[in-house]
A and B are shown apart, each in its own frame.
Chain A
């Protein structure tokens, strides 16, 4: 039985191995970071889904609850707002490298079109530095670019209001509400 299974057997929800630390105590071990939440709300939700399909649940029941499990709340909110997938990740798993800018410079039609893309978007060093000031990110995935930006911005506001004052949305496209602002903030 692996450790994550034991964590779940002890009653925890959303147990996950978030990242490797890169430090090993012996040639046959590796350092890892684990996280789990004692979430009675999630257990209740799983029991409900046995009786009804998730799509049959009213959307409000997923998020109209006090934001006590803050990270879970934001993850559920992302899905409710239209993201296909949402997952909490550690910011140290985000790779920031120069080659991405070259890819953009030579071949991307959005190069130099707005401040969400190079060369106006924050550079690699600056992005690395800012990411190092955060420990956790909510990664969202979807097939509608502009909608994804709107979701990210909405989540940034939600996160701020429940206490994550540093919350900042990193998007690849401008928001539909910001397309007319040439100086809109953004990131690669």
Chain B
């Protein structure tokens, strides 16, 4: 994951456009867009609970695209309020809503409208009514302080230009003793030293 850098508003626009283009394509089908498994195979490889894989419709599972399983990082309790940052097609939000139960609630946010459309389609194939999906930025969360018990995210923080701002927002909206559980990608090599190369890579 590359860290915080001084991007101009033009840099940020390019990054955002690049991400939107790529993930609009992913919203249609994640297959073939990543080196790691997606869909049901990805969920199984990342050891998602078999019970969810058994009950969720196959076309919901096939839209899954994530780099890891944030649910392995700790429990979500019944009645919890959960925020899913970069919810994509909503598979993690749906699983979180099943765990939190009817007394809990889940809010999934994403910057790519096609992803949110797919998430809403996926939700309509379930009987859950404790999830909302919104087009919001992680860098400016429109929620009151201490709104959530758990924040989850899967493969999204690496795409956020101002990670400290996003993390500070997560901290603000979490209740005391609330937790953040993130699956993501980090760089094992040095990121490009100049901003232009970095933006090219990010947006590409």
CB distance from A130 to the nearest CB of B (A): 14
Alpha-carbon gap, A134 to B184, bound state (A): 21
Interface residue stretch chosen among A24-32, A51-59, A111-119, A169-177 = A24-32
A29, A69, A163: the one contacting B177 at CB < 8 Å is A69
Chain A residue, CB-CB nearest to B158: A29
Alpha-carbon gap, A9 to B92, bound state (A): 27
Alpha-carbon gap, A81 to B177, bound state (A): 23
A64 at the interface (CB under 8 A from B): no
Contact A36 B180 (CB under 8 A): yes
Contact B186 A3 (CB under 8 A): yes
Interface contacts (Cβ under 8 Å), in number, total: 137
Alpha-carbon gap, A90 to B75, bound state (A): 12
CB distance from A34 to the nearest CB of B (A): 4
Given contacts A1-B3, A3-B157, A28-B187, contact A38 B178 (CB under 8 A): yes
Contact B68 A9 (CB under 8 A): no
Q: How large is the interface on A (under 10, 10 to 19, 20 to 34, 35 or more residues)?
A: 35 or more
Query: Interface SS of chain B: helix, strand, loop or mixed?
Result: mixed
Alpha-carbon gap, A9 to B180, bound state (A): 14
Chain B, range 148-187, C-beta contacts under 8 Å to A: 155, 157-158, 163-164, 167-168, 170-171, 174-187
Alpha-carbon gap, A33 to B152, bound state (A): 11
Interface residues of A (CB under 8 A from B): 1-3, 6-7, 9-12, 18-19, 21, 23-26, 28-41, 68-69, 71-72, 90-92, 132, 135-136, 163-164
B30 at the interface (CB under 8 A from A): no
Given A23-B35, A25-B36, A41-B177, 7 new contacts (CB under 8 A) = A6-B167, A9-B167, A12-B171, A18-B72, A21-B46, A31-B68, A132-B47
Chain B residue, CB-CB nearest to A93: B72
B67, B74, B158: the one contacting A35 at CB < 8 Å is B74
Alpha-carbon gap, A151 to B107, bound state (A): 39
Shortest 7 CB-CB distances between A and B: which pairs? Answer: A10-B167, A21-B68, A23-B36, A28-B189, A69-B177, A34-B182, A29-B185
B59 at the interface (CB under 8 A from A): no
B34 at the interface (CB under 8 A from A): yes
B128 at the interface (CB under 8 A from A): no
Alpha-carbon gap, A26 to B189, bound state (A): 11
Chain B residue, CB-CB nearest to A20: B68
Alpha-carbon gap, A38 to B4, bound state (A): 21
Alpha-carbon gap, A12 to B163, bound state (A): 14
Contact B185 A1 (CB under 8 A): no
B77 at the interface (CB under 8 A from A): yes
